[in-house]
A and B are shown apart, each in its own frame.
Chain A
């Protein structure tokens, strides 16, 4: 029975699409947080702190965009955290070997993309569930990171490289990494919303078999999606390495789950078919704002973890509730 088909008028009344509603509600949550934290500590709303939040959210936003692609296909990418570490290490090794910064970064990014393509191949041709395939690469790549560095972080990186993280830009005094994040979000937001690859990504998540039977090259699309995810993780790896001027083999541990949480708060569904880049960006900002705001208001770190967990559950719960109307 479908009430919707019976009376068309109702849908013309609801002008706002689901995407728009998702963006508005997540942005609303962000606004409420901002108000509460400003009351708790007026420093919160200073331009300096807002830049801090943006900076702190940057790596998570970048990987969460990739994770959103994967979640939409109803997959999951657990290897993100390891790719962050290992791509940073690959770039650092190249730089220490005397290669120019841009070439070293290209090396690190290509390494990341390669791991993503491998994930895709394992899933498509190896017929492994995404959870298992990326869990395998997660451990393998973490091991590779430890092996390449023998457990010792690589420091003393060239200044031109570390500038991509922290150097403040002539534009609005915003750190470079935030601009990088912004550009990546625009590019991949566009890919997801406006290109064939993006459309196929949604279609596969909505119904894989129907998409295949519609003549879509589902194998290639899946590999592209996992490559995008790991490529973005490699970008996060570059930025994090530049931030702390150290490529550590233990970096990024557990970040994949922050990425999932951001995507989900931003409206993605782990069951696939749903999720948008602007939502994910806002979702990551919600988490970063929450952390920053709780830090500033001096909340116990243990209680912070509890609050963030509750917020994740709450966000999804409210979303579910809203959708069943």
Chain B
């Protein structure tokens, strides 16, 4: 009983701490999928800089950031959104972790007349003003073009993907395949493996592909973990530069591998732009301006192709 009471008090203290911030005249809420991943930290950084710009212009604006502690529960994220409605946030930016489960919460924001901006991922609803996202399909097509050029349009390649159940990574695979088939029909895809983002597994799979196809010419890896694992496998096999690798996402490790010419190109998303543009859009909507004529407007924040040459400029 005593313990239960203690927990209750702690929980109340915590919630007071988090809600006390909402006392400013204008509040923009940003709710991402989790608070740990580098991707979301960049979204947050972009949003913070946009808010800082607004404050510098003399506006009284505050950013409230919230996210589930790990990528587990869409219910938790939904309740975070509902909390922001209750707190009367002036605009809400959400990166929904489940398109289906979060649709009702997103519609509730829209129905309450609060500007609703989606970040990174779509939800199963049309009730929002604008979304800033990477067009994964377009990025995958770019990757196909890059790899095709590196291989002069011929040879065998293998794909190391992350999760077989995820919409995002599956789009990166299917659009890549389609584009490759169209633009470089002489390139053969010998297989695909799903490493669940685990670098060791990606490494093992890449080794196996190199073993079964001694004439393998290239790899396409679909996220950060796959890219690092694949890069290291190629490096350790002594095939750096011989087998071309085009990856996805960016980190210190990816950067290191690009520098050493193990990875020739990687698709870098622009999460910073998503957060930055999202806040700018929120401010426009708060002030009654329109983003576009239609609702549910899609903005592709694009990808940057990081290579050894432009590595310095990548944020």
Contact = CB atoms under 8 A, between A and B. Distances in A.
State yes or no: do A and B come from one complex: yes
Interface of A: 41, 43, 46, 48-49, 52, 55-56, 59, 142-143, 146-147, 150-156, 166, 240, 243-246, 248-254, 291-292, 295-298, 301-302
A295 B205 contact: yes
A301 B236 CA distance: 24
A208 B198 CA distance: 38
Nearest to B37: A151
B256 A150 contact: no
A250 B207 contact: no
Given A254-B196, A254-B198, 4 more contacts: A43-B212, A48-B211, A244-B203, A244-B229
17 contacts: A43-B214, A142-B70, A147-B36, A151-B35, A152-B251, A153-B228, A153-B251, A166-B236, A243-B203, A244-B232, A244-B253, A250-B198, A252-B198, A295-B208, A295-B212, A298-B190, A301-B194
A296 B253 CA distance: 28
Given A146-B36, A152-B38, A302 B164 contact: yes
Contact of A155 (B36, B191, B196, B251): B251
Given A151-B37, A152-B38, A155-B256, A301 B193 contact: yes
Contacts of A152: 38, 41, 251-252
A239 to B, nearest CB: 9
Nearest to B252: A155
A56 B207 contact: yes
B193 A295 contact: yes
B198 A153 contact: no
Interface string B159-174: 0000010000000000
A56 B224 CA distance: 20
Contacts of A56: 204, 207
A150 B41 contact: yes
A296 B208 contact: yes
Interface of B: 34-38, 41, 69-70, 164, 190-194, 196-200, 202-205, 207-209, 211-212, 214, 224-225, 228-229, 232, 236, 251-253, 256
A291 B204 contact: yes
Pairs of residues from A and B, 5 with the lowest C-beta to C-beta distance, nearest first: A151-B36, A295-B208, A155-B253, A244-B199, A296-B212
B207 A156 contact: no
Contacts of B224: 153
Interface centre among A150, A245, A252, A297 (most CB of B within 10 A): A245
A212 B271 CA distance: 59
A311 B188 CA distance: 31
A151 B252 contact: no
B279 to A, nearest CB: 22
B69 A59 contact: no
A10 B70 CA distance: 59
A143 B198 CA distance: 17
B164 A301 contact: yes
A250 B197 contact: yes
A281 B192 CA distance: 28
B41 A151 contact: yes
A301 B196 CA distance: 12
A67 B83 CA distance: 44
Contacts of A243: 199-200, 203, 232
Given A146-B70, A301-B164, A246 B211 contact: no
B191 A298 contact: yes
Given A156-B256, A291-B204, A302-B164, A253 B211 contact: no
A240 B232 CA distance: 12
Contacts of B228: 153, 244, 246
B3 to A, nearest CB: 14
Contacts of A166: 236
Contacts of A150: 36, 41
